[in-house]
Amino acid sequence: MRLAVERTGFLLVIRFGLKRIMSNKKPRASHVITLLNRWHLNG
């Protein structure tokens, strides 16, 4: 159950993050990428 929730949240974060990066390319984009990479390594 927890894995499913985490996976869904992960997909939402990716989708939201991509929209953010595409809409406004700011230094925060690197933060999002770093978090995604960290999650990917942990996952």
Mean pLDDT by 10 residues, the chain (43 residues): 81 84 68 79 70
Q: How high is the pLDDT of residue 8? A: 87
Q: For residue 27, what pLDDT is reported?
A: 60
| pLDDT value for 33 | 80
What pLDDT is stored for residue 1 in this prediction? 65
- How far is the C-alpha of 30 from the C-alpha of 1, rounded, in Å? 30
Task: Tell me which H or E stretch contains 38.
Answer: helix 28-42
pLDDT value at residue 16:
86
Question: Given this model, what pLDDT does residue 19 score?
Answer: 84
| Contacting residues for 29 by C-beta, under 8 A, at least 6 apart | 17, 20, 21
